[in-house]
A and B are shown apart, each in its own frame.
Chain A
């Protein structure tokens, strides 16, 4: 299992290094969205609730972009068939793809949070960074799990580009609720305030429930 996951991850990372399809697109999209928010809201800098909302909406849409691309190579180049022929546990594909999506999201967030604090954020971001890292890591885990499920579900349908956002946005709503509520005191105008534990609890519970669920039912999305 560990070797299979490692091999799949190496394959996907090599693919990304050669084509540079997902991460640069997600980062560019996020930068474009920040510019859009600047003009749409007519604000030079934001803080508190508004800052948390902009950050989370941007990240969620960027994640949807990444989820859309997640299984495209598998489908178009026959990767599913190759994987099904290999004598390995099918959950390995789920673990590898979720880990890959988690890595992509973390990379994108490093760039996006830096750009956000330069372009739009009013208060200094340094005090918020540790708390923000915890919240983002928990939310990324949930997004990675749900994104992998939705991506695998949608890639075999005819309307896949339509279905991914339609399914992923309602499903990730609890993450956005908890994430933005947890982030908004961190970005308060007078400097970072304390994190509220209950939001971390909700994020953790979401990760746990959907992690176990995905682990149990992902196999059914692969059978031929």
Chain B
């Protein structure tokens, strides 16, 4: 059900990621100020953008779940947020490395985007504990959807508040809009962003397919065992992941 189109998508992702890395290392010029280390930008910014979009998409699937009551939307929302959290860790680590190389500190409080990102990460880190501490699976799905909507609305508001708190904006070497980027850099960035987006979608589909197949397998095994005389049906393990 979720496996359709996975093969071409995986191939496209592999091609785009390879192409992006090739462009980063052999095509994009070194930054005049920061030199080679600036190239972490092609990894850091797509990671951050894709994970934020993933968080918001989790909220959108949360709304869809509350509207329709279809548990598959809950599964989609869960996988979105779960993957985005992993990408967010990547974005924080690469951002920290970049800050160390460019400004000499592992953490800079006057970089508003990085700080807002940390706050968003701290909020979403509560998503799985929240799910895990609700036993009833129907209520778990409903509460998780409510959380994903609140947190999804929080993302833009938080960015605004943190940005406003910086009295003088840090001189930004690169604006993410590409306003002052040379064309070759901007092209490389776009390819990296497309590659990261495809990677996210591919992983998302793989995890959905795996979770769905696992659930079907469990249902089949339960039916098989229920036919036995001393049929002992294993109870589903309580977990943060949605159960269909």
Contact = CB atoms under 8 A, between A and B. Distances in A.
Contact of A177 (B133, B149, B165): B165
A202 interface: yes
B202 to A, nearest CB: 30
Given A153-B130, A158-B135, A202 B161 contact: yes
What bracket does the count of chain B residues touching chain A fall in? 20 to 34
A136 interface: no
Interface in B100-154: 119-120, 122-123, 126, 129-130, 133-135, 139, 142-143, 145-147, 149-151, 153-154
A153 B154 CA distance: 16
Contacts of B164: 177-178, 198-199, 202
Contacts of B165: 177-178, 181
A159 B135 contact: no
* Interface residue SS majority, chain A: helix
A174 B161 contact: yes
A206 B165 CA distance: 15
A223 interface: yes
Interface stretch (A34-42, A124-132, A163-171): A163-171
A209 interface: yes
B213 interface: no
Contact of A221 (B135, B146, B160): B146
**Residue among B134, B142, B164 with the most chain A CB within 10 A?**
B164
B60 interface: no
A209 B87 CA distance: 27
A154 B139 CA distance: 12
Given A162-B129, A163-B129, A177-B162, A220 B66 contact: yes
**Residue among B123, B135, B161, B162 with the most chain A CB within 10 A?**
B161
B153 A210 contact: yes
A58 to B, nearest CB: 20
Contact of A206 (B66, B123, B145, B157): B157
Nearest to B127: A167
B157 A153 contact: no
Nearest to A203: B161
Contact of A153 (B123, B129, B143): B143
B22 to A, nearest CB: 39
Contacts of A220: 66, 142, 145-146
Contacts of B130: 153-154, 157, 163, 167
Interface in A52-109: none
Interface of B: 66, 119-120, 122-123, 126, 129-130, 133-135, 139, 142-143, 145-147, 149-151, 153-154, 157-158, 160-162, 164-165
Interface of A: 149, 153-154, 156-160, 162-163, 166-167, 169-171, 173-174, 177-178, 181, 198-199, 202, 205-206, 209-210, 213, 217, 220-221, 223
Given A153-B143, A158-B133, A162-B133, 7 more contacts: A156-B139, A160-B133, A199-B164, A205-B157, A206-B161, A217-B66, A221-B146
16 contacts: A154-B130, A156-B143, A159-B129, A162-B133, A163-B126, A163-B130, A167-B123, A171-B154, A177-B161, A178-B165, A181-B165, A202-B164, A206-B161, A217-B150, A220-B146, A221-B142
